[in-house]
Amino acid sequence: MLKRDASLYQQFLGIVESNAYDKRSEILPSVEKAAGLFNGPLIRARHMRQDGMALKIDAELSDYMHHVATRSNENVDQRANPLYAAAVVFTADGQLLFGVSGTSTEAIYTGRRNIPAGLVHPVLDAVDGKPYVAMSLQRELLEEAGLVFENFEKLHPFFVVREDEMRHPSVIYEGRLSIDEERTLRRFEAQKQRDLFLGERPEFDQLVFVKFDRNSLQNEIENNRSLYHNRVLIILKHLLSSL
């Protein structure tokens, strides 16, 4: 069961390394320039290693303020490097799903095509006090695309991407839906209308589908690369090389 416990949140706050707080004086000026910026906890990925068939992630608690203040640091190891969960989604009729980012995202990403993705949250995505990448993925699929696990025939870890721009590590899942493009779009539109009814801004303004074949992927990479989030361009190249 997904737990949202205030005491658990305090427990996580209690294990933050003291040097993170020592950096507040460096971080605050850059944040105060954007008074509306939301700050909240996130998981910082320090190191990843493969242990047999498992990917083990060494992590610590950080916050979005730290991420914003350090993400342009030339020394990548000194950045917050938040951990993301994301999914490459294939419809039952062979289409790749992308979302066009709306105004709820940062300005540099507005209008770009992305995949369902989001930060691993130390509280919202925790089970028995331990955050799980899969829980973050479940939350993002529902919030951004209106999809639930029951819509998938297969959903499993695929690979890890580290972006060229911000160097965020993202655990990418491969998801194969049991529903086609039309039904997928209906689920998305229903979720979008629920968000608007509740006064929330949807993550994606619309969905875009690209046929999964060599010619289509090659065309997107060569002619439409400016439309895509950096993370997605890396994934498109990986998918193309697998065909």
Count how many Cα atoms sit within 13 Å of the Cα of residue 76 in the half-sphere of its side chain: 12
pLDDT tens-digit profile of 145-204?
999 999 999 999 988 887 656 667 889 999 999 999 999 999 999 999 999 998 888 999
The single-letter DSSP state of residue 229 is: -
The pLDDT tens digits for 108-129 are 778 999 999 998 998 889 888 8
Record the tokens describing residue 99, joined without a space.
Answer: 């979302």
Residue 88, pLDDT above cutoff 50: yes
Retrieve residue 40's tokens.
């909240």
- The CATH architecture one would assign to domain 6-242 is Alpha-Beta Complex (3.90)
d(CA 83, CA 21): 20
| Contact present, 135 and 234 (Cβ < 8 Å) | no
Instruction: Please tell me the pTM assigned to this model.
Output: 0.79
Q: What is the pLDDT of residue 177?
A: 98
Specify which residues 191 forms β-bridges with: none
Length of the chain: 243
- 138's CB contacts (< 8 A; 6+ apart) are 148, 149
Q: What is the mean pLDDT of the chain?
A: 83
- In degrees, rounded to 5, the angle at the alpha carbon of residue 21 between the alpha carbons of residues 17 and 25 is 155
Q: How far apart are CA 101 and CA 116, in angstroms?
A: 10
With beta carbons less than 8 A apart as the criterion, state whether 61 and 126 touch.
Answer: no
31 has pLDDT over 70: no
Helices 214-223 and 230-242 cross at an angle (nearest 10°) of 150
